[in-house]
Structure 1
Amino acid sequence: MGVGIMKKLLLFIFVALFGRISFAQSIIGDWYGIINSENSSIPLIFHFSQKNNIYSATLDSPLQQSLGIDVTTIDYNAGKLHLVVARHDLQYKAVWSGGKLVGNLTQMNTDYFLVLTKESKQLQEPKSTFPYLTEEVRFQNSQAEVNLAGLLSLPEGSGPFPAVLLLGGSGPTDRDNTINSNHKMFLVLADYLTRKGIAVLRYDKRGVGASTGDFNVAGLQNFASDAKAALHYLQTLQEINTNQIGLIGHSEGGLLAAMLAASSKEIDFIIALAAPGIDGDTNFILQRKLISKSKGISEKEWLAKLDFLEQVVGEVKSAERPKELERSLKEIVVSYLERTKREIPYGMSTEDYTAMLVDRYTHPYVQDLIKIVPRQSFRQVTCPVLALNGSNDLQVSAAQNLPAIEAALKSGGNTQVSIKEFDGLNHLFQESATGAPSEYGEIEQTMAPIVLETITDWILKQTEE
């Protein structure tokens, strides 16, 4: 081989390898990581893009409901990254290592080890071409002048099909019931059901995604009204068997399903996934006890927190005017945080955390969840009910809530009740070690297959001709 040819060949190999290395080290796209601090685990998502050789990025902190935070400066060169988010006094320095970005995130003079990867752990989500029809849809809640947007999934064939309406959990959830860990629970569930011949409608809550309206001023009755509008829309579709329409609700959504079924005979069955059955104030405190204990909180710290939570519940249930509630809650929160500094999450000032807690507890739907008495709705439900939960659920404890749901249903004379507790599953119905919310994002599974099978088999049994 001649020297000239050899030089060209070596140059070609170098260019090819360099090109592949450059491509492999591109930061363009979505990067996922979790910050672990003393008392919390915070999932973070960076979205990098590039235009005219200039990088830009935004940061999402789903757990704190902070999305689209602008990254102020980005310096990325030779596998080394340095970025700054000035608004939150945050910087991240990392190096490329084996397809990951490995480094330290610094905020308010505190360092946190952070590894970012380009793959989220939601490997269960369907990514291939779907063997069924999906259609973006819009429908109106005329009572509230709210336009809701969602996705309709129709099985192969001519129909009409049995159908379910999916109702998401608490918070500003989208049509996929995207949880803080970025798991798309309803995407996985809808895909599974539609492949089995069941049509599915899921939608963005008001004020979320493509839906209009204001989430921040809405309560449970508003969300129930939206769900009723979604049900009526589903009933207008010629592809749907209107005698075989059910509701599947997760957490708060399970309560909404009971509220709708209690007031309407148009619903043929409901499935309550990790739904509350005990009184709202009791569940509110129990949830926080179980989660706090999972973080290793001492008995002394828990008793201080319990006193705080009982004061919050008392004010929410007794306050007659919003301004009065806001003022009293702020006093309670400030007093508590003065005694319990370690309660404040990483990177947040006392003032910001105080404001966040006051906003949370004065939100209409949070107040509704504290005041709600689920048995009042469940005991009026006469259609078939499937209630599921996991033994590791720390947010809606199966041990307390499943028996309460069963008792309420049977007290109303409903004999078509199926109750099942899955061993080792958490609030999202993932196979889990402890059930702590901090695990959600670390688990690759979105929903345990046994749960998907149980739901589907039960629906098909209810809709047998």
Structure 2
Amino acid sequence: MASDAQAAFRYLEGHKGVDARRIGVIGHSEGATIAAIAASRIPKIRCLLALNGPVLPGYQDILLITEQRLRETGIADDTINSYLTNMRLYLGRPASTPLEKRRVAAEYIVRFEIDRLPVDQRAKITKTDIESAVNSQMHEVLSRWEQHYLSLNPTVYYQQLSCPIGIFYSESEVAGLLSKRLLEFRKVFNTADPVHLIRQIKHVDHNLITTDQLPKAVCSAFIKAVVEEAGKLI
């Protein structure tokens, strides 16, 4: 995917209607990491904008998001700790965890999520459905992409950049445990020296969809704000 972004840069760079000196790259969520990887490979890139992107290695970020989600629902600490223990095993930590043990952990996670569904929905779920869900979970976690993502550290790429960087986070993304993301980004910028800015975005969720029943105009205003900030960096 980063190579696709590089190809897009090369296309724009050679386009007669584009100022090749003012091309930036933007990414959202995991796409922010992909954008950082691409930008680290393009010496001529003018700026990077990262929207709600991770900064911790994939394994740590997944656990952070999971714990935040569970705590927001008011689940007891013992239950949260049990869930996170199984999540670590499912993700293959320690690396020596045998597949069967990881599968047991995957089933725990699937059954946990099923138990949180409304009674009428739970009643429709069969043993075959559970087995299929566990198989799907195992297929995903053992995929080449997932294994790479779990160990990928986005800060490696941010630290390679000399171009201006804009970091944007929704309020919900920097609340509670997730505030660790901002702290980690600030550590990165203490060791690197790009011109950068960090902004918090109100009234939008992770997917940049408006919250609190606010009008769509808020989301449009956010997009406009991002474009304006990009203009400053470029």
- Choose from 49, 58, 76 the match for 1:280: 58
How big is the alpha-carbon RMSD for the aligned residues of Structure 1 and Structure 2?
3.1
Letter in 1 for 2:37: M
Q: Partner of 2:225 in structure 1?
A: 454
Q: Partner of 1:381 in structure 2?
A: 161
Letter in 2 for 1:454: A
Q: Partner of 2:196 in structure 1?
A: 417
Larger helix fraction of residues: 2
By how many angstroms is 1:376 displaced? 1.1
What are the residue-to-residue correspondences of 1:59-138 with 2, within 5 Å?
none
By how many angstroms is 1:277 displaced? 1.2
Cα distance change on mapping 1:459 and 1:341 into 2, 3 Å: closer
**CA deviation profile, 1:419-440 (whole Å, cap 9, x unmatched):** 011244321233425xxxxxxx
Letter in 2 for 1:243: R
Mapped contact 2:33–2:154 kept (Cα < 8 A): yes
Mapped contact 1:378–1:405 kept (Cα < 8 A): no
**Aligned equivalents of 2:176, 2:37: Cα separation in 1:** 18
**CA deviation profile, 1:183-240 (whole Å, cap 9, x unmatched):** xxxxxxxxxxxxxxxxxxxxxxxxxxxxxxxxxxxxxxxx222222222222232221
**Aligned equivalents of 1:279, 1:425: Cα separation in 2:** 25
By how many angstroms is 1:394 displaced? 7.8
By how many angstroms is 1:288 displaced? 1.1
Q: Partner of 1:312 in structure 2?
A: 90
By how many angstroms is 1:385 displaced? 0.7
**Aligned equivalents of 1:359, 1:396: Cα separation in 2:** 31
**Aligned equivalents of 1:445, 1:359: Cα separation in 2:** 38
Letter in 2 for 1:269: C
* Secondary structure in structure 1 of the residue aligned to 2:49: strand
* Secondary structure in structure 1 of the residue aligned to 2:22: strand
Percent identity (aligned) = 17
Q: Partner of 1:432 in structure 2?
A: 211
Q: Partner of 1:367 in structure 2?
A: 147
Cα distance change on mapping 1:269 and 1:361 into 2, 3 Å: same
Instruction: Find out whether 1:249 has 2:27 as its counterpart.
Output: yes
Mapped contact 1:392–1:432 kept (Cα < 8 A): no
What are the residue-to-residue correspondences of 1:203-214 with 2, within 5 Å?
none
Mapped contact 2:68–2:178 kept (Cα < 8 A): no
**CA deviation profile, 1:93-138 (whole Å, cap 9, x unmatched):** xxxxxxxxxxxxxxxxxxxxxxxxxxxxxxxxxxxxxxxxxxxxxx
Instruction: Find out whether 1:236 has 2:7 as its counterpart.
Output: no
Q: Partner of 2:45 in structure 1?
A: 267
By how many angstroms is 1:258 displaced? 1.3
* Secondary structure in structure 2 of the residue aligned to 1:333: helix
| Unaligned segments of structure 1, at least 5 residues | 1-222, 434-441
- Choose from 393, 402, 418 the match for 2:173: 393
Larger strand fraction of residues: 1
Cα distance change on mapping 1:406 and 1:326 into 2, 3 Å: same
Letter in 2 for 1:452: I
Mapped contact 2:166–2:230 kept (Cα < 8 A): no
Cα distance change on mapping 1:240 and 1:339 into 2, 3 Å: closer
Q: How many residue pairs were aligned? A: 227
TM-score normalized by the length of structure 2? 0.81
Find the structure with the greater CA-based Rg: 1
Higher relative contact order (CA 8 A, sep 6+): 2
Mapped contact 2:167–2:197 kept (Cα < 8 A): yes
What are the residue-to-residue correspondences of 1:30-69 with 2, within 5 Å?
none
By how many angstroms is 1:355 displaced? 1.5
**Aligned equivalents of 1:354, 1:394: Cα separation in 2:** 31
- Choose from 402, 408, 417 the match for 2:182: 402
Q: Partner of 1:303 in structure 2?
A: 81
| Unaligned segments of structure 2, at least 5 residues | none
* Secondary structure in structure 1 of the residue aligned to 2:173: coil
Letter in 1 for 2:14: T
**Aligned equivalents of 1:282, 1:358: Cα separation in 2:** 19
* Secondary structure in structure 2 of the residue aligned to 1:418: strand
TM-score normalized by the length of structure 1? 0.44
Letter in 2 for 1:451: F
